[in-house]
Amino acid sequence: MSAQPAAHATHAANAPRVGWIGLGKMGTPMAANLLAAGFALRVYNRSPARAAALLEKGATLAPSVPLLAQECDVVISMVSDDPALQDVALNEGGLFAAAAPGLVFIDMSTVSPALSARVAEAARQRGIDYLRAPVSGSTATAAAGALTILASGPQDAYDRCTPLLQAMGSKLHYLGPAEQARYLKVAINMMVGVTAAMLGEALVLGERGGVDWQQMIEVINSSVVASPLLGYKTAMLATRDFAPMFTAAQMAKDFDLALDAGRNANVPMPLAAVSRQFLGAMIASGRGEMDFFAYVTLLEELAGIGDAGDRA
């Protein structure tokens, strides 16, 4: 389906009671946008102190996940990985054990299609509507309510929850009734990571050939291979400041999800496999907490090119 525009409006008192789990770098601004759109929000985080900024904006704090399940009509989670989603949804003391039939559970995390399918089956058995709604974007686009949201799951639940999603994203795509959103999310992240690897090799080749660093970036960014991703990373490359927007370790996790999905579906993914090995080398060489576009510095080291900081 085509994308839908964002709609930020104050919602009536009969709007659903919304719960939120996970207040990390992405979850906090996303939850804040729900508050700004007029939704009453009850939040839970393992570290309650992280909820302080949202409490000041009108959210209330839930002491546990089971209480959140009992007090809300819709619960949204934005957590770090498969084990975190398993804990939130399926484990003892999790959401599903306490939820009544009719609850809508929206998970916006980046997790594996395999675990998501297990969550879907558990939700079906308990009469819970489960939407998979991973996002594409950065902390900046999350704060601006301009994320791209990929959704799959029950169509009627998606239709009912569209106003919630529109408060967080400027582009919404409904992809189907099952794990379509999970597959597309890991596929997109895989393409982003492979782009960083390709660009790193190209930049180091240009350096070896004596091309000026700044001019090389400028020309690439205005060439036929220019893209929104390269434009977004241009300032980082030009200044060689690889403070993380998304770390190499996080990208390695997403490649693992993609490769596991490919293996389970018998899809050959040689480019992804090679790129994952170099992400492992980034982590092993102390670059794991740098932005994944710092891949170029690893290739400079392997190519015997010294400290390139003076090229900025």
pLDDT, one tens digit per residue, over 243-256 is 998 999 999 999 99
Residue 10 has pLDDT above 80, yes or no: no
Does any domain span residue 11? no
Residue 212's domain is classified under what CATH number? 1.10.1040.10
> Which residues, in sequence order, are bridge partners of residue 107?
77, 132
Name the percent of the chain lying above pLDDT 70: 94
The token pair at 241 is 């400041």
* Catalytic positions, written as ranges: 185
| Count of the separate structural domains present in the chain | 2
Residue 215 has pLDDT above 50, yes or no: yes
The token pair at 3 is 């994308």
Q: Worst-scoring range by mean pLDDT, 158-162, 261-265, 304-308?
A: 304-308
Residue 1 has pLDDT above 70, yes or no: no
The token pair at 289 is 């907490």
What's the pLDDT at 309? Answer: 43
Q: Give yes or no: residues 207 and 262 share one domain.
A: yes
Does any domain span residue 1? no
Contact 291, 247 (CB under 8 A): yes
Q: Give yes or no: residues 92 and 197 share one domain.
A: no
Q: Give yes or no: residues 151 and 209 share one domain.
A: no
Does any domain span residue 3? no
Residue 203 has pLDDT above 70, yes or no: yes
Q: For 19-54, how does the pLDDT look when each residue is reduced to its tens digit (9 = 90+)?
A: 999 999 999 999 999 999 999 999 998 888 889 999
Q: CA 231 to CA 168: how far, in whole Å?
A: 23
Q: Give yes or no: residues 165 and 282 share one domain.
A: no
Residues 6+ apart with CB under 8 A from 306: 300
pTM for the complete prediction? 0.90
Across the chain, mean pLDDT equals 92
Q: CA 116 to CA 89: how far, in whole Å?
A: 10
Mean pLDDT over 85-92 rounds to: 94
Mean pLDDT over 295-302 rounds to: 96
> Which residues, in sequence order, are bridge partners of residue 154?
none
What's the pLDDT at 138? Answer: 86
Amino acid at 55: L
- CB atoms inside a 10 Å sphere around CB 186: 25
What's the pLDDT at 2? Answer: 44
Residue 79's domain is classified under what CATH number? 3.40.50.720
Residue 16 DSSP label: P
